[in-house]
Chain A
Amino acid sequence: MHEAAVNEMAVNKMAVNKMDALVGALLHSCSEHVLETMFFAAIFDQADASASNGRARLASRLHFHGKPSGDFEVDADPCVARSLTAGFLGIDESEVTPAQEDEVMAEFCNMTCGSALSSLGRVEYFRLETPETSRPPAFSPAIDGVRRAFLLEGGTLSVCLRVDFDRS
């Protein structure tokens, strides 16, 4: 391969890595801010999203379109989803219904995605579609993007953002 092409590939790879690092840092700070402000929950540590393999999960996903478009995904341990729902609604965990968990995780998905996109800098406009919530029997990521996983009280929660800058 020509040396110029090799150099260009190296530069592109560095740019992608830099962008991924920026998105990763944003996902962490936005998730932390949303969790603390609206759900009264704290991140104890970073976690490995795939470590939750084999256990039931609660996932919420949305597509956003605009300039740029992309996808956002939240995956949580059911215990985390229940705890966050109780915190958001201001009720006892024993009163939380599955429908409320679905709605609150969708709200977390919406809020965290919007917060991250608004902070990203290269976003001109976007419109979030309604999140879809599911309960897969195991961790099953549907988006190939930048993912960050966190340890919260009761288990893990991960968020993933894919931004299609090139297709905007």
Chain B
Amino acid sequence: MLTDINMPVMDGEEFVRRMRVDGPFQTTPVIVISTDATTNRIHTMQALGAVGYLQKPFGPEQLRNELDRVLGVNHA
């Protein structure tokens, strides 16, 4: 699951918090995509269970590398 943080209606922090409570998405890997790369924010999202963090702006290669890392894909 890829999620931004700054979103209308429900922000990414609340979204991940609710995912982790119960239900089918409880263990789904979450990668956060945000402009906010402050240490506090990254630690908060990691504490909620996010396994990856991409700071905007990023290119397609960075996204692919992060997806590969999280999914354990090795192209070698």
Interface positions of A (Cβ within 8 A of B)? 33-34, 37-38, 110-111, 113-115, 117-118, 123-128, 130
Instruction: Please state if A111 and B36 are interface contacts (CB–CB under 8 Å).
Output: no
**Assembled-state Cα–Cα distance A128/B8 (Å):** 11
Residues of B within 8 A of A33 (CB): 57
22 CB contacts below 8 A, A to B, read A34-B56, A34-B57, A37-B57, A110-B35, A111-B56, A111-B57, A113-B35, A114-B34, A114-B35, A115-B57, A118-B35, A118-B37, A118-B38, A118-B55, A123-B38, A124-B38, A124-B40, A125-B38, A125-B40, A126-B38, A128-B36, A130-B8
Interface status of B24 (Cβ within 8 A of chain A): no
**A-B contacts, CB under 8 A, total:** 45
Residues of A within 8 A of B58 (CB): 37
**Assembled-state Cα–Cα distance A123/B58 (Å):** 21
A23 → B minimal CB distance (Å):
16
Residues of A within 8 A of B69 (CB): none
Instruction: Please state if B36 and A118 are interface contacts (CB–CB under 8 Å).
Output: yes
Residue of chain A at shortest CB distance from B41: A125
Instruction: Please state if B59 and A37 are interface contacts (CB–CB under 8 Å).
Output: yes
Which B12-56 residues sit within 8 Å CB-CB of chain A?
34-38, 40-41, 55-56
**Assembled-state Cα–Cα distance A114/B37 (Å):** 8
**Assembled-state Cα–Cα distance A92/B35 (Å):** 27
Instruction: Please state if A128 and B57 are interface contacts (CB–CB under 8 Å).
Output: no
Residues of A within 8 A of B56 (CB): 34, 38, 111, 114-115
Residue of chain A at shortest CB distance from B56: A111
